[in-house]
Amino acid sequence: MTTALVLLLIQGCLGAFDTLWYHEFKLRLSRDHSARFELRLHAGRDFIYAVIFGSLAWVAWNGFWVWILFGLLISEVIITLWDFIEEDRARKVPAGERVMHAIMGLTYGAFLACFVPEIIIWLRMPTGFSHQSYGLLSLLLTAMAIGVTISGLRDLAAASIRHRTDRLKVPVSV
């Protein structure tokens, strides 16, 4: 399980870099009219990651709960694929960001490959949650959960603010 969580932590670090460097600094997506839907996708994925980071740091999802966790993991993949399509539709994705996304995809796949055996064990357990602790790794994943929640709220707010200002614009006829 530790290997899976280390890969998840690396995924979080890569995601933080992608968000801060490309989305915030280079592209300023929160100010881009065409990025509204992309920001909503990012927010949805961020909230899923917040649950994944925050919960896996401290608990095992046993029995039926594994199916809920599995649904979250699959939802993250679907949102990510949808985000790739949306990015290509709405803007030119810089080469470095495209490479970052490929590395993140590989890291997520490695995380899942290491995590699936644990999921199978949890599936055989009685339904409920059991306490886990991985020391510093649990604390770092909790910090990631907080950070990704803040990022999701910011993306959601930016998408909503842009949406409200769009409705306030008055068409000018010539």
Q: How confident is the model at residue 155 (pLDDT cuts 50, 70, 90)?
A: confident
115 in Cβ contact with 11 (< 8 Å): no
Among residues 82, 131, 103, the alpha carbon closest in space to that of 22 is found at 103
Q: Give the per-residue pLDDT at 34.
A: 65
Q: Give the per-residue pLDDT at 173.
A: 52
**How large is the average pLDDT for residues 138-166?**
83
pLDDT in tens, 45-81: 999 999 999 999 999 999 999 999 999 999 999 999 9
Q: Give the per-residue pLDDT at 174.
A: 47
Q: Give the per-residue pLDDT at 32.
A: 63
If one compares 172 and 84, the residue with the highest pLDDT of the two is 84
154 in Cβ contact with 35 (< 8 Å): no
List, in sequence order, every residue forming a beta bridge with 60; answer none if it has no partner: 130
| Separation CA 59–CA 122 (nearest Å) | 11
How many other CB atoms sit within 10 Å of the CB of residue 11?
22
From its phi and psi, is residue 28 left (phi > 0), alpha (psi between -120 and 50) or beta?
left
Is residue 89 predicted with pLDDT exceeding 90? Answer: no
3-class SS of residue 153: helix
Number of residues that make up the chain? 174
Dihedrals φ, ψ of 137, to 5°?
A: -60, -40
When the pLDDT of each residue in the chain is averaged and rounded to a whole number, the result is: 87
How many other CB atoms sit within 10 Å of the CB of residue 58?
17
According to DSSP, residue 167 is labeled H
Q: Give the per-residue pLDDT at 163.
A: 46
pTM, full prediction? 0.84
Q: Give the per-residue pLDDT at 78.
A: 95
89: Cβ–Cβ under 8 A, 6 or more apart, which residues? none
pLDDT in tens, 13-35: 999 988 878 777 776 766 666 66
Q: Give the per-residue pLDDT at 162.
A: 46
5 in Cβ contact with 56 (< 8 Å): yes
